[in-house]
Amino acid sequence: MTTAIAVHGLHKSYDKLHVLKGVDFEVAGGSIFALLGSNGAGKTTIVRILATLLKPDAGAATVNDFDVVDQAAQVRESISLTGQFAAVDEILTGRENLILIGRLRRVGDPRGIADDLLERFGLADAAGRRVATYSGGMRRRLDIAMSLIGAPPVIFLDEPTTGLDPEGRIEVWQVIQQLADSGTTVFLTTQHLEEAEKLADRIAILHQGTIIVSGTLAQLRELLPPAQVEYVERQPTLEEIFLAIVGRDRKEQR
């Protein structure tokens, strides 16, 4: 497997606050890599450095074999970045948002690409509606669809399900899995452990400025003592109850 992202000895400080203290990790091409960490751990700082929006104080990083400092323009041409909040124009329709980005990126046939993405992301029926009428999950799906215009091989998703309800989160999870299945490398930051557990091929935990552990979910589980087998009655989670009730209510309304 090719290496899509490589980070070695990354350091970054803000005045006297030393945020990154020698961060190292690699991301395989076509995989989903989840970076976990609490608020203020430095996840967004890493994303901003990899997206060439911020320069590191020390260390090196490459994206698609391009150095993020010396070859910043080439890095930008091969990535997309979706922040914590959907960057969509609420006045425009879903289709108009996509066409606008297509024209800005100078792709051929922006209308055709917009229609293909609307269909792919389950937004075709809402294509002509103003984005102000969209739900949170729909806005986030549109936001990710906009970031795919130009077919970037790497996409950065910085806490993509922030503020979404359970249904919206699941919608976004499905989109992220589809991206990886199509060969796109997905770099995901999140505070939701369930999100990383469901999606990620590899997981890294950022704590106090360094990566303290990295590996597959199975490898991380091996760090803990073997689980004891106990037979207990499992109760449904609140999320399962919510989705079951809402889904049943929708079926009854049809």
What separation, in Å, do the N-terminal and C-terminal C-alpha atoms of the chain show? 47
Q: Report the helix count and the strand count for the chain, using DSSP H and E.
A: 9, 10
Q: Which amino acid is at 207?
A: H
pLDDT at 95: 96
Q: Which domain holds residue 184?
A: 3-78+152-253
Instruction: Examine residue 246 and state whether it is found in any structural domain, yes or no.
Output: yes
Which has the higher per-residue pLDDT, 218 or 241? 218
Q: Which residues pair with 210 in a beta bridge?
A: 207
Q: Which residues pair with 36 in a beta bridge?
A: 190, 205
218 falls in which pLDDT band (50, 70, 90)?
confident
Q: What is the mean pLDDT of residues 174-197?
A: 88
pLDDT at 103: 93
The fraction of the chain above a pLDDT of 90, given in percent, is 54
CATH number of the domain residue 11 falls in: 3.40.50.300
pLDDT at 75: 96
Say whether pLDDT at 235 is over 90: no
Say whether pLDDT at 54 is over 70: yes
Average pLDDT, the chain: 87
Residues in the chain: 254
Instruction: Examine residue 83 and state whether it is found in any structural domain, yes or no.
Output: no
**Which of 67-71, 161-165, 244-248 is modeled with the greatest confidence?**
67-71
Instruction: Examine residue 95 and state whether it is found in any structural domain, yes or no.
Output: yes
pLDDT at 109: 93
Q: Are residues 65 and 127 in the same domain?
A: no
Report pLDDT digits (tens) over 94-137. Answer: 999 999 999 998 899 999 999 999 998 889 999 999 999 998 88
Please check whether residue 136 is in contact with residue 165, taking contact to mean a CB–CB distance below 8 angstroms.
Answer: yes
Say whether pLDDT at 245 is over 60: no
Using the 3D structure, point to which of 102, 121, 151 is the last residue of a domain: 151
Instruction: Examine residue 234 and state whether it is found in any structural domain, yes or no.
Output: yes
Q: Are residues 140 and 248 in the same domain?
A: no
Domains identified in the chain, total number: 2
17-28 and 3-14 strand pairing: antiparallel
